C-alpha cells in the first residue's frame, strides 16, 4: 500500500470502522437485563446474545483478513461496514429473541470482515515509531468509544428502550464508509491463493460446538452427556481444522509456519488469556451492578468511563514506548497489573460503593490494559511482512474474540444466579480471571524475546 496522502483521515477511518465492533459489544453487555425482561429467556439465552455475535466474529476474522489481502482491503472494509449497519438495523427491529440472535450473528460476520482490514490498512499505512503512535491512538480512541457506548446505551435503555442501542451504530458506519471511499487507497495481492473455505467452515462449526457445550455445561443443567459431547466434538473438529491447515500449507488462512516462532506463540497465548478474562469482566460487571447493587443501566454504563479515560491517556504513550524498547516488558507487567485489578474486584458486594469499591478496581484494570493493548497490537503487526498484515491482524483478533467467546460461555452458572449466590459466583469468576492474567504475563516473559518486536 503506498504512503497515504491523508494519513490522519486514514487513521480516523480505521478508528470509526473498528469502533463499530467495540461500541456494539460494550453496549449490548449493559442491555442484558433489559433484553431478558423484554424478550424473555434464561441465562443461556442471555449468553447467546453475546456469543451469537462473538462466534462468527472469532471464526471468520482470519478469512476476512485473508480476503482483504487478496481482493482489496478498502473494498472489504466498506462491504463489512455496510453489512454490520444493516444487521444493526435488523436487531433494532427484531420482534423476538430468535430474530435478535439472527441479527447478532450477521453483525458478527460484518465485524469479521471489517475489523482485520481496518487494522491491516492502519498497519500498512504507517511505519516504525509512527505505526506505534498510530496504533496507540487507535487503541485509545477505540477504548473511549467502547466506554462511551455503555453510558449512551444505558441512558437510551432507561429513557427510550433497548432497541435504540443498535441504532447508534448507523452514523458510525456512514462516517467510516464515506471516509474510506474518499481517502483510503486500496491494495491487494492478486497472487494470494484462493480463500480457505474448508478451514473457515471447520473453524466455525468447531467453535460453535465448543461454545454450545461450555454454555450448557456451565448452566443450570450442569455437565450432562450432551454438554460434554459438545465440548469433545468442538475439540475434535478443531484438531481437524489444524490438519486441514497443515495440508493446505501456504494456502491456509492460518499457516502453521507462524507457530515456528516462540514469540508468536507467546503473543497468541497472552491474547487468548488476557482477552478471555477481559471478556468475562465486561459481561459480568454491568450485570452484577444492575442485578445486585441496584444500579440503573445508565449508572452501570457510566462505571466504565474511567477505563476509557485511562486508556486514552496511556495507550499512545505505551505504543511509542513499545516501538522503542520492544514488547516483552510492557506485556509482562501489564497483565500482572490487570490481575491485581481482578483481585480488587473481590470487594464488590450487595452494597458496593462506586468510589471505594468499584472505581479502584476499574482504575487498576485499565492501567494494566493500557500497558498491554498497544504493545500487543504493534508486536503482532511487526512480526509479519506487509502483504500478510491482514492475515496476522485477523488471527490475533480471532484469538482475542475466541477468548471472550470461551469466557462468556463459562458464565452460565453466574448469570443464572441471584442474590448472594450471584455475588459468590462473581467472586469465583474474578479469581479465575486473575489466574488467567498471571498465566498471560508468564507467556510474555518466557516466550517473547527481549528485543524490539516491531520493524
Q: Give the per-residue pLDDT at 390.
A: 55
Q: Is 256 exposed, middle or buried (0-12, 13-18, 19+ CB in 10 A)?
A: middle
d(CA 62, CA 252): 10
Among 275, 262, 235, residue whose Cα is nearest residue 400: 275
Nearest to 304 by CA among 350, 369, 351, 377: 369
433 burial level (CB within 10 Å; 0-12, 13-18, 19+): buried
Grid coordinates standing for 357?
469499591
Q: Which long-range contacts (CB under 8 A, 24 or more apart) does 180-183 make?
A: 180/13, 180/17, 180/74, 180/77, 180/78, 180/81, 181/74, 181/78, 182/9, 183/4, 183/5, 183/6, 183/9, 183/10, 183/13
- The DSSP symbol for 450 reads S
Burial of 68 (0-12, 13-18, 19+ CB in 10 A): buried
The DSSP 8-state label assigned to residue 448 in this structure reads S
Question: In 3D, which of 165, 11, 170 has the Cα closest to residue 83?
Answer: 170
The predicted pLDDT at position 328 comes to 84
Instruction: Report CA-CA distances (Å) from 325 to 139, 336, 454.
Output: 19, 19, 10
* Residue of 287, 297, 223, 396 whose CA lies nearest to 47: 287
Predicted local confidence at residue 131, as pLDDT: 74
Alpha-carbon 253 to chain mean position: 19
Closest alpha carbon to 58 in 238, 287, 239: 238
Contact 21, 85 (CB under 8 A): no
pLDDT at 394: 64
Quick one: 347 exposed, middle or buried, by C-beta within 10 A (0-12, 13-18, 19+)? middle
Burial of 359 (0-12, 13-18, 19+ CB in 10 A): middle
Tens of pLDDT, residue by residue, the chain (455 residues): 455 567 788 888 888 888 887 777 678 878 888 888 888 767 677 888 888 888 888 778 777 877 887 788 889 999 999 999 999 999 999 988 999 999 999 999 999 899 888 877 887 787 766 777 787 777 667 666 766 778 888 888 889 889 999 998 899 899 999 999 988 877 665 556 677 788 888 888 888 888 888 888 877 778 899 989 999 999 999 999 889 888 887 777 777 766 766 777 888 899 999 999 988 888 888 889 988 888 888 888 888 788 878 877 787 777 777 767 777 888 999 999 999 999 999 988 777 888 999 999 999 999 999 888 778 877 776 665 555 555 666 677 778 878 888 888 788 778 878 888 889 999 999 999 999 999 999 998 988 776 544 44
Distances (CA, A) of 309 to 42, 62, 121, 381: 34, 31, 26, 25
Rg (CA), the chain: 20
Report phi then psi at 240, rounded to 5.
-65, -40
Burial of residue 309 (number of CB atoms within 10 Å: 0-12, 13-18, 19+): middle
**Length of the chain as a residue count:** 455
pLDDT for position 151: 84
Secondary structure (DSSP) of 239-284:
HHHHHHHHHHGGGSSS-GGGGG-HHHHHHHHHHHHHHHHHHHHHHH
Q: Is the pTM of this model over 0.85?
A: no
pLDDT, residue 437, reads: 96
CA dist., res. 90 & res. 379, Å (int) = 37
Largest CA distance in the chain: 61
Amino acid at each position: 500500500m503506498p504512503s497515504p496522502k491523508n494519513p490522519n483521515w486514514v487513521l480516523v477511518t480505521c478508528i470509526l470502522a473498528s469502533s463499530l465492533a467495540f461500541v456494539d459489544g460494550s453496549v449490548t453487555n449493559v442491555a442484558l437485563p433489559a433484553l431478558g425482561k423484554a424478550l424473555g429467556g434464561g441465562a443461556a439465552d442471555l449468553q447467546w446474545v453475546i456469543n451469537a455475535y462473538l462466534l462468527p466474529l472469532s471464526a471468520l476474522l482470519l478469512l476476512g483478513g485473508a480476503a482483504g489481502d487478496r481482493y482489496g482491503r478498502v473494498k472489504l472494509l466498506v462491504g463489512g461496514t455496510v453489512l454490520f449497519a444493516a444487521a444493526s438495523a435488523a436487531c433494532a427491529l427484531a420482534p423476538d429473541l430468535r430474530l435478535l440472535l439472527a441479527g447478532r450473528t450477521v453483525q458478527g460476520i460484518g465485524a469479521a470482515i471489517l475489523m482485520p482490514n481496518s487494522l491491516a490498512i492502519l498497519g500498512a499505512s504507517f511505519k516504525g515509531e509512527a505505526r506505534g503512535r498510530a496504533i496507540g491512538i487507535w487503541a485509545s480512541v477505540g477504548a473511549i468509544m467502547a466506554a462511551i457506548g455503555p453510558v449512551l446505551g444505558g441512558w437510551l435503555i432507561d429513557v427510550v428502550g433497548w432497541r435504540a442501542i443498535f441504532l447508534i451504530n448507523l452514523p458510525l458506519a456512514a462516517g467510516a464508509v464515506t471516509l474510506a471511499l474518499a481517502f483510503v487507497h486500496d491494495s491487494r495481492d492478486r497472487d494470494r491463493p484462493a480463500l480457505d473455505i474448508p478451514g473457515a467452515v471447520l473453524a466455525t462449526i468447531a467453535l460453535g460446538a465448543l461454545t454450545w457445550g461450555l454454555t450448557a455445561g456451565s448452566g443450570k443443567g450442569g455437565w450432562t452427556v450432551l454438554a460434554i459431547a459438545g465440548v469433545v466434538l468442538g475439540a475434535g473438529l478443531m484438531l481437524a481444522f489444524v490438519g486441514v491447515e497443515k495440508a493446505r500449507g501456504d494456502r491456509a488462512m492460518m499457516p502453521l509456519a507462524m507457530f515456528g516462532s516462540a514469540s508468536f506463540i507467546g503473543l497468541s497465548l497472552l491474547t487468548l488469556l488476557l482477552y478471555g478474562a477481559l471478556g468475562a469482566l465486561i459481561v459480568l460487571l454491568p450485570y452484577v451492578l444492575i442485578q445486585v447493587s441496584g444500579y440503573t443501566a445508565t449508572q452501570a454504563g457510566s462505571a466504565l468511563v474511567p477505563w476509557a479515560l485511562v486508556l486514552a491517556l496511556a495507550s499512545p504513550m505505551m505504543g511509542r514506548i513499545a516501538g522503542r524498547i520492544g514488547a516483552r516488558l510492557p506485556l509482562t507487567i501489564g497483565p500482572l497489573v490487570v490481575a491485581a485489578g481482578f483481585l480488587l474486584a473481590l470487594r464488590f458486594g450487595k452494597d458496593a460503593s462506586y468510589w471505594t469499591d468499584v472505581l479502584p478496581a476499574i482504575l487498576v484494570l485499565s492501567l494494566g490494559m493500557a500497558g498491554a493493548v498497544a504493545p500487543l497490537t504493534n508486536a503482532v503487526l511487526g512480526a509479519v511482512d506487509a502483504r500478510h498484515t491482514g492475515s496476522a491482524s485477523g488471527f490475533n483478533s480471532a484469538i482475542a474474540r475466541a477468548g471472550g467467546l470461551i469466557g462468556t460461555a463459562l458464565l452460565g452458572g453466574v448469570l443464572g444466579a441471584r442474590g448472594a449466590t450471584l455475588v459468590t459466583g462473581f467472586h469465583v469468576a474474578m479469581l479465575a480471571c486473575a489466574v488467567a492474567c498471571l498465566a498471560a504475563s508468564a507467556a510474555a516473559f518466557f516466550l517473547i524475546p527481549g528485543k524490539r518486536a516491531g520493524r
